[in-house]
Amino acid sequence: MPIRRPRSRLGFGRAPRVSPVPLLFIYGDNDPARAEPFHPGADGHVYLAPDANHLARIADLTPADRATATATLERWAAQPRG
C-alpha cells in the first residue's frame, strides 16, 4: 500500500528560504529556529524578542519594535488585495 503524503504540506524545512511576498517574523532571543532563519523578501521584516523563546509574539518585542511591527501590519491590512 503506497504512503499518502498531502501535497499541500511542503514542510517548513523544505520551504524556500526567501519569500516573494511580505512576511513578518518574530524570533525569540532563545529560539532555536534562529540557527536557520527565514529571509523575507521585499517589505518583509524580522524582529528579535529579548528573553523569549520560539513562542515569541509581538507583545514580547521592545516597545519600539512593537510599534514598528504593529504599524507594518496595519499598513499591510489597509492595502487592497489583488
Q: For 2-24, how does the pLDDT look when each residue is reduced to its tens digit (9 = 90+)?
A: 555 555 444 555 555 556 678 89
pLDDT tens digit sequence for 51-66: 999 999 999 999 999 9
Specify if 7 maps to a domain: no
DSSP track, 15-61: S-SEESS--EEEEETT-GGGGS--EE-TT-EEEEETT--TT--GGGS
Specify if 13 maps to a domain: no
Q: Are 69 and 45 in contact (CB under 8 A)?
A: yes
Say what the pLDDT of residue 67 is: 97
Say what the pLDDT of residue 11 is: 52
User: How many domains are contained in the chain?
Assistant: 1
Specify if 2 maps to a domain: no
Specify if 1 maps to a domain: no
Full residue range of the structural domain in which residue 42 is found: 19-78
Confidence of residue 40 (pLDDT cuts 50, 70, 90): confident
User: How confident is the model over 29-56, as a mean pLDDT?
Assistant: 87
Specify if 71 maps to a domain: yes
Specify if 12 maps to a domain: no
* pTM (whole model) above 0.75: no
